[in-house]
Amino acid sequence: MKWFRCWWLLLLVPMAIGFARLRFDSEVLDLLPAKVPAVQGLKLYQQHFTNARELIITVQAADADAAKSAAQGIAAALWGRSDLISRVNWQPPWLEHPDQASELIAYLWLNQPPAVFQALAGRLAETNLTNVVAATRDQLETTLSPADLAQFSHDPYGFTRLPENLAGTMTGPVQGDQIFASPDGSFRLVFARAAGELRGYRECTAWCAAVKDVVNAELPPGGGIKIGYTGRPAFVAEISASMRRDIIQSTGGTAMVIALLFWIAHRRWKPMLWLLTLLGLILAFTLAIGGLIFGSVSVISMGFAAILLGLAVDYAVVHYQ
């Protein structure tokens, strides 16, 4: 008979499983309706064409030299943390890794139509190499363009002179720095990629905090250089922290108002504590069911907890009376 009265203890097993599977989803696109084509397209774009592990660090200084020195220092400090960072770029990759640019150029030439590729092979034939070098030398003697001087002096055979249909595919050495710096050089970007996967908001928050510690150790705040953070990891960490703070404040504030109103109406502490305990158990049991059935619960859904607590207390007061 005693075990029959304690049948509700059996509910602890599915509740524990539900809490073990429970995961709060704070991804922005997952908060939108999944059946909308625009949302599906954005998810595909983020999954296949963007890097969800990449953090963009902005560096703003009074002059170009200070910004360049700060960006270089941040990159060097992050390179020293292989447990956090797998890659850092603060300037065009071909300046640090020219071999990567050569591989890309070879790939672009190889994927040209057969006629274009055969023309390249004919121009670089062994019997024609002397003429190619002579033509490049003549062009270096007559050109006044800094870009041509930089390009032809390092590439006499013209591998980087891509066909017209690929003229905008690769950026030249002069224009390439615009991806990482403003025209005056006082604002620069540093791209940092995480060493591991950042699947949830907890991983994003912890990783962003560790990166900020490394950056602050290299450039302490107040030195005249402004540091900013953007990208998917920073956004997920910021929005999840904001939502968590709002949910805690709204739910805790609602519970306090409920307790205050109940005490004003009845002037009794014990029933009020039982009421708050019951509301807490109902909320915990609901979360366990959500974790057991769905696995993940949107953080937006938690925002309705305060509203539901306010509705539940109305029935609780009626039941107590």
DSSP letters of 174-189?
TGGGGGTB-TTSSEEE
DSSP 25: E
Cβ proximity of 218 and 74 under 8 Å: yes
Mean pLDDT throughout 12-41? 75
Extents of the domains making up the chain: 11-33+241-320, 100-171
User: Most distant CA pair in the chain: distance in Å?
Assistant: 105
pLDDT value at residue 190: 92
User: Beta partners for 193?
Assistant: 54, 87
pLDDT value at residue 56: 92
* 226-230 sheet: strands from edge to edge: 85-89, 187-194, 54-60, 226-230
When comparing pLDDT for 189 and 254, which is higher?
A: 189
Residue 36, pLDDT above cutoff 70: yes
What's the pLDDT tens digit per position in 245-280?
777 777 777 777 777 877 777 777 777 778 778 777
Mean pLDDT throughout 137-164? 80
What's the pLDDT tens digit per position in 76-97?
999 888 889 988 988 877 676 6
What's the pLDDT tens digit per position in 119-130?
888 888 888 888
pTM of the model: 0.63
d(CA 134, CA 248) in angstroms, rounded, equals: 74
DSSP 179: G
Q: Which residue has the tokens 């595909």?
A: 44
What's the pLDDT tens digit per position in 197-236?
887 778 888 999 999 999 999 888 777 889 999 888 888 8
pLDDT value at residue 157: 85
- Average pLDDT in the chain: 78
d(CA 203, CA 205) in angstroms, rounded, equals: 5
DSSP 35: T
Lowest mean pLDDT among 96-110, 158-172, 211-225: 158-172
Sign of CA dihedral 9, 12, 14, 15: positive
CA triple 149-154-155, angle to 5 deg? 100
When comparing pLDDT for 42 and 88, which is higher?
A: 88
Q: For 90, phi and psi rounded to 5 degrees?
A: -125, -5
Tokens for 315? Answer: 């029935």
Specify the pairing of strand 23-25 against strand 296-298: parallel
DSSP 97: -
Residue 172, pLDDT above cutoff 70: no
